[in-house]
Homo-oligomer: A and B are copies of this chain.
């Protein structure tokens, strides 16, 4: 069963009907990756909340807020199709009818995770993460979920939200779900639709490079220098916005004494920035 709600008032009223719920926050334009988050939620909860809201505050002034694809009918159909596999589950889709349902007039709150919001993606999109943390907090406050599911494709987003939840002492568990890939290796993303066939082929450099680096490191700290050399060669191609090895939870570059690492990469195809990443352990 699927219920569509378009106002915060109705959402708060409706929420009283369920005990513990899970939650997936999206900007719509759904693909298999989003559906995998919903299905992960069904393992834990009979009732899931699923928001579809293109959040203006996480777009920069030169970014594509107006052009961001709104495909609510297609999105609902995808959720309906998923629900057929789970006849005893139900979903409340929150699709605010306008921005005022999320940000009332005179809304002045900004929630930031300092420092982390300025590195990597934050360097390229200086206001992005403050927009993300503020909207996710606001959705959490409206929905009060026990667990919330995020795709690991946006790895920094996942880490920033986990940090927000920790620093705010929020009673919600953040669950990171694996990247869903095409058989070619390309990570699923709403942005892939902007790619022409040649660009889509070229974009495979992301997953190939990450795989190659992982093989090169092979779980051994002593191979990190080799990997850094390889990265230095690769990034001579100016289409890499970044290709970097970081500690998993802090995203710091100081990885000498760390064992949990993540390789974070952004490769550009004209204006389209494609993100990918790979976690690994070293000893």
Contacts and interface: CB of A to CB of B under 8 A. Distances in A.
Contacts of A250: 106
Nearest to A12: B169
A71 interface: no
Nearest to A117: B108
A269 interface: no
Interface string A124-166: 0000000000000110011000000000000000000001100
A116 B108 CA distance: 8
A163 B105 CA distance: 12
Contact of A109 (B107, B108, B111, B142): B111
In this complex, the member of A111, A115, A138, A163 whose beta carbon has the largest number of chain B beta carbons within 10 angstroms is A111
Given A137-B168, A169-B142, A113 B109 contact: yes
Contacts of A183: none
A109 B114 CA distance: 6
A51 to B, nearest CB: 15
Interface in A84-122: 104, 106-116
A254 B78 CA distance: 49
Copies of this chain in the oligomer:
2
A110 B137 CA distance: 13
A250 B106 CA distance: 9
25 contacts: A104-B167, A106-B250, A107-B167, A108-B114, A108-B116, A108-B163, A108-B167, A109-B111, A109-B112, A109-B113, A109-B114, A109-B163, A109-B168, A110-B111, A110-B112, A110-B113, A110-B114, A111-B111, A111-B112, A112-B112, A137-B168, A138-B169, A141-B168, A141-B169, A142-B169
Nearest to A114: B108
A43 to B, nearest CB: 29
